[in-house]
Structure 1
């Protein structure tokens, strides 16, 4: 039998050390819900952590506070919404915007957004991108006030309105804004307060690729309504763990769970025990006999050690007229299903995920792209029950890991549209990685370069940073890592020595793999 008085004092002492005052009768609620399969100290720590996540303005805890914290603690690690593997299509991605006045992130639960809204949605998408980056930049060490009180040593952002209203010359002006070309050949920077012409004659460009409509930091001298730029850089990148502090335990990634699964002990244990990988493979041309022959070798090789999942990215036809060949693709998917069904271990233990390319029979070439039509895939799904046909882009949650997948020639488009080619272009993948992470977005382009549904632009957001970003690009395969986020491109399977990538969630290792020509 529990020694109630003994444990009651332990509860009160633990809460007191954490800065809270708890009444005797409320200790009973905590102790009645304690399962002795969990260590007492772990249980109390869990309840206190959930109290702190409530962001209370008072230290005298109420019955409602305790009941909420206990309920959240019981749910942690035992919630049936803590899924091991979930594929989140782009249209189900949660939308968060930063409220400048309240200085907090606000979730927008609006359902069934319009694909073709009014023009306000277009300006809103850029405002949303800007405010999320602005709050991140202002928290960066570079822009924090110095402790010595000498404001002359502080690095401060200036709004365009401030510079234009001051009128006189200002050295060391720093502006955060959207890089835009109002008149052909003339570059401007724009923020919510105004627009300012740039003189890029002697500008020094930091690491990254700078395209029209990306958000940049420009420093230089303001003179005669022009910013004479000395340096241009992408916004500094923030670690995921630092970003998540401003969301508490809310699930920002998507899926059935209301709380973030990043710190679930149950899922973490499952993740560590499973040493198998997730396969990423792009441009699988099912209408090429040599590709099907290599896929047979591919599936044979993995049948003895089935991976967690296969993620196939389009295009699934070699012809760029794929949108006109829906019935041909239906037949090819049926054949692929028959091939996979020969490997019972894969059928039973692996999940098959398909992300469409821009040439696959589907919808308009606008992101996010809907999944491949059901009538094309119905025969395949009968053969391979554990298959998911999802959107482009999509998100994959595996245990505590967050993975973003997109099939688009992003690097190729970025290199073609940059206003400045890097002097050291031997590692273009590094420039690309630091660009999309700095932008916190998959598409820092003008909307004519890469069309995006205005209402669903948030589905391309990379904030907070995921664990892994997979870009299916026709550029050669690469693996990059920056600020604890991995970015990979498996390269086109059908034209790049049948290459693919294997990601091991348990260790976060990434293997470059290919099928030898002589097999």
Structure 2
């Protein structure tokens, strides 16, 4: 009893030091939540909860039990890592802001704390970091050793005609139908012609690529455009002489460098992760499809179900939130029927581009907390950000729900055939080492959180939950699988199953007669 009194005083004091006052019921709840934790873990949780509280628009410093319960759910969904679990989910906003330092030639944590209130310096730094990540891979690539790269500054200082110019730069459009290449030293105008050869990738505004051509009268007439070769994660770590964890969580050592986790992965050969995208919970047919999916896997439950949005077929309307609320209640009822089968399965919910509440900008926070209550009381669930990162044993998995294939194809300057889109898209994203290599006016990104969209080093699998048709691509030399499950609601209930230990993706579908 004395220990409980000490715990209550500790909780009350911690909140008071941060200008919050707990109601009696709130103190009781906190005491119940943390009574079995040691002091260090308890303090870590309290600090996380207070950090989330400070971001809330509260009318009063008096904190109720309901608010504490909601804040605790949010903290639980933001990538709190349990070392005893093989599977952990990391929220984009919890990731440390690692950046590449060109002078030290290593990854360091940015000193300034990320901010939502971005200024021009933040935008410039985000683009600069994207360029540096690609450039540092290009400079050490063995296939590019024989090429002599130049810079925009060197070309601008010359009045001569120079043949065989090779330059690494970012393609920009400063005015209509007038393209430029930019690097860290300046900008030059470029001109493409009918004979310009484009390698197998998607080339669009703000892509970073290798351009070869003839420089004359201040213009580079481009003969050939190629993506920077991809670099597998093992090579990246070897070149940077680091096994540090840049992926997420509190572990200091990278998961793929952890022998215990490698052994755990090997001992679970049948583990599976089921991936669905565009799960319309306001559609009765879709809910029936989900029910048959849950019923089909209840005998051999997977490690996780990854449900990606959009979760409502009627987006951006007044009734969207009401439809979502009802849809998650219906889903909770279905899960309740099979909850005994899925006690060890994690359900991960990733918002889509049209889900409330934040519009379009990346990364997107998790779904509204009011939807937590329906699911969290039934199964183990995480309402994740978009994108989010998942660690399973020694494997690193990135999930990104955005219709990026369509956007990149629409703004591509090179001609492409429909059947080549999946392989071109996969190579382009891995070459850019970034989930969103498009300009801000096409696909806006919070600049201080651009690091959350970076792919350095490359993960084991990148799940691009796009509306585009289902595909799986293994880009040579990358060590990374790029896969897209397609739209569950629009494709006769198609989905994918990933087997981590086997590094295999299988396309699947709910039988038509179901």
**TM-score bracket for the superposition, by shorter chain length:** 0.7 to 0.9
Q: Shift of residue 109 of structure 1? A: 5.3
- Check the 8 A contact 1:341/1:347 in 2, yes or no: no
CA distance in 1, matches of 2:196, 2:96: 38
Q: 2:237 aligns with which of 239, 244, 248?
A: 244
Q: 1:496 aligns with which of 486, 491, 497?
A: 491
Give the ranges of 4+ consecutive aligned residues of structure 1 lying more than 6 Å apart after TM superposition: none
Q: 2:174 aligns with which of 172, 176, 182?
A: 182
CA distance 1:81–1:166, shift in 2 (3 Å): farther
Q: Shift of residue 110 of structure 1? A: 4.2
Structure 1: 5+ residue stretches without partners: 1-78, 145-153
- Check the 8 A contact 2:255/2:396 in 1, yes or no: no
Q: Report the secondary structure of 2:260's partner residue.
A: helix
Q: Shift of residue 98 of structure 1? A: 1.9
- Superposed CA RMSD in Å reads 1.6
Equivalenced residue count is: 429
Q: Shift of residue 345 of structure 1? A: 4.1
Q: 1:93 aligns with which of 88, 95, 98?
A: 95
CA distance 1:322–1:481, shift in 2 (3 Å): farther
Aligned to 1:169: 161
Q: Report the secondary structure of 1:383's partner residue.
A: coil
1:64-463 alignment to 2 at 5 Å?
81=83, 83-108=85-110, 110-111=112-113, 113-144=114-145, 154-201=146-193, 202-245=195-238, 246=240, 248-274=242-268, 275-321=270-316, 324-384=319-379, 386-422=380-416, 424-463=417-456
Scaled by the length of structure 2, what TM-score is found?
Answer: 0.81
Deviations 1:350-406 (A, max 9, x none): 00000001221221220000100111221221122x100010000001111101101
Deviations 1:254-274 (A, max 9, x none): 112111110222212221222
Aligned to 1:464: 457
Structure 2: 5+ residue stretches without partners: 1-80
CA distance in 2, matches of 1:279, 1:356: 16
CA distance 1:330–1:179, shift in 2 (3 Å): same
Q: Shift of residue 328 of structure 1? A: 2.5
Higher alpha-carbon Rg = 1
CA distance in 1, matches of 2:419, 2:322: 43
Q: Shift of residue 82 of structure 1? A: 6.9
Scaled by the length of structure 1, what TM-score is found?
Answer: 0.80
CA distance in 2, matches of 1:248, 1:311: 31
- Check the 8 A contact 2:298/2:342 in 1, yes or no: no
Aligned to 2:11: none
